[in-house]
Amino acid sequence: MDAEVDVKALAFNMEIPEHLRWRDERRGEEFELQSITVRLLPDSTLAAKAYGRPVAGGRGAYVSFAVRRGPEIDELIAKAADEAARRWSEHGGL
């Protein structure tokens, strides 16, 4: 393959352990944040969004929120990024 490959970002999803989950509100509805999507950007920094479901249940949308920052969440994301990098480096192709 002669052409260069231009990868814009890599991403993975991770579950938030129950003891680190938090709740947030959007348009008057409370959500429990259950997962985080992390993107590795071209400059090698990470971007993250938390996603959750309505606490009241039902067929509510899976909505994104800012990630709550703190030592435990930051460490969780860093460890997950290291694990994702390890898995990417060992990929078996298509």
Site of tokens 């920052």: 69
* Structural domain containing residue 28: 10-89
Q: In this prediction, what percent of the chain has a pLDDT beyond 90?
A: 71
- Contact predicate 33/50, CB 8 Å: yes
28 domain-assigned: yes
Amino acid letter, 50: A
Q: How many domains does the chain have?
A: 1
Q: Which of 39, 41, 44 is nearest to 12 (CA)?
A: 39
What residues form DSSP beta bridges with 29? Answer: 26
Q: Residue 3: inside a domain, yes or no?
A: no
pLDDT of residue 31: 93
- Choice among 6-10, 14-18, 76-80, 88-92 with the minimum mean pLDDT: 6-10
Residue 31 located in a structural domain: yes
Say what the pLDDT of residue 9 is: 82
Would you say residue 60 has pLDDT above 70? Answer: no
pLDDT at 68 over 70: yes
Alpha helix segments (H runs only) across the chain: 71-89
